[in-house]
Amino acid sequence: MISRLARITSMTPARAIDPLLARSLKGEALPEEEAMVREWRRTAPENEIEYRQLARLVEWAARVPELIEVPPRPSAAELIAPGRLGPRVIPLRRRFSKVGMAWVTAAAAAIVLVVGTSFYSQVRGRPSAGSVLGIREIATAKTEAATFELEDGTVIRLASSSRLQVLAGRSRREVALEGRAFFAVAHDGTPFVIRTAAGEVAVLGTRLDLEARGRDLRVVVVEGHVALSTARQRTQLRAGEMGRVLNGAAVPVVKVPDVDSFVEWTGNFLAFQSTPLHDAAREIERVYGARVDIQDDDLAHRVITAWFRDKSLAEVVDVVCLAVAARCSIESGVVRILPEAHGGGR
């Protein structure tokens, strides 16, 4: 896990500002270095956004001891005679020694990787060679599906009997699809274009379900907005709307009363891209059959970027609540999410 994180952060050479940011976030920067960081933050809005996101990752890592039970160090006697070890009770909020904290650091790297991969791929740059999206082509058989993440942070769930191809280009985000896929497109500032034989869909940070077979196409927008184009016209669609192309010709856009019914095929899968917590909660309810109670309006509008496949409800809730700086509990099929200041369960 840590080696994978190293590969992510080594995609591009380090910038001169990077070590200063690291020292600033750890509270180790000299006064003149802090002045340089403040000036860098003022230079451009995206710099301030990057700094705040990095600070949030540091905050997440610091909270790992609250969420992960680290076993106490074994005694010398236990190491010598492991066969006589009995059950051990591990307190939920154990104080960790320096050695224990080293174990927690590894866990922190794992959580940063789960929640922050998309962030790193955006703020640390792109690979210097090859396609900006990394993968070239992937196809599924009749009885299988595939889930993968492109190098720009976009997550795709590819249905059975489907094929997705990344079109060549270092600075563009374009793929070709034949079949069906769910897309959670990363916010990048540039359109993400999905080409099909029936038409193309231009996406700017959204989630959608798209099925394209020959000259027929159907797109359902779960979040955000897209532009559906054919040879003769271009149509805008927003969340909760469905666009169709039949035999190469677009038909009128319609409202979808139950978007969830179009994404049930994805199974035990969730993908969020800067998704408000109240929307993420609704999808957690759909996938896990639990009720999610968010006990704060401000908390409900915090956003999360993460994806999960074949994870338990508890695993999903732990990461989601870590990402939005909340306390969570699960009891009798009800997930309660409340601000940190209120105390709480998980």
Q: What is the pLDDT of residues 149-202, one digit of tens each?
A: 888 889 999 999 999 998 866 677 899 999 999 999 998 778 899 999 999 999
pLDDT of residue 9: 39
* Of 106 and 204, the one with more pLDDT: 204
pLDDT of residue 223: 93
Looking at domain 137-262, its CATH class is mainly beta
pLDDT of residue 32: 86
Percent of the chain with pLDDT over 90: 40
pLDDT of residue 14: 61
Percent of the chain with pLDDT over 70: 70
pLDDT band at 94 (very low <50, low <70, confident <90, very high): very low
pLDDT of residue 214: 94
Summarize the confidence of residues 206-233 as an average pLDDT: 94
pLDDT of residue 198: 93
Q: Which residues contact 174 (CB under 8 A, 6 or more apart)?
A: 166, 167, 192, 193, 194, 195
pLDDT of residue 252: 95
Give the model confidence (pLDDT) of 273-300 as tens digits: 889 999 999 999 999 999 999 989 999 9
pLDDT at 77 over 60: no
pLDDT at 89 over 70: no
pLDDT of residue 95: 36
Pairing, β 291-294 against β 334-339: parallel
Contacts 24+ apart (CB under 8 A), 97-106: 97/73, 99/73, 100/70, 100/72, 100/73, 101/65, 103/70, 104/64, 104/65, 104/68, 104/70, 105/61, 106/1, 106/2
Fold annotation for 269-342? Phage tail protein beta-alpha-beta fold (3.55.50)
Pairing, β 163-166 against β 334-339: unpaired
pLDDT band at 28 (very low <50, low <70, confident <90, very high): confident
Residues 219, 253: Cα–Cα separation, whole Å: 10
pLDDT of residue 238: 94
pLDDT of residue 294: 94
pLDDT band at 329 (very low <50, low <70, confident <90, very high): very high
Domain ranges of the chain: 2-81+89-123, 137-262, 269-342
The least confident of 58-72, 80-94, 316-330 is 80-94
Strand-pair partners of 176: 165, 195
pLDDT of residue 168: 62
Residue 145 CA, chain-centre distance (Å), reads 19
Mean per-residue pLDDT of the chain: 77
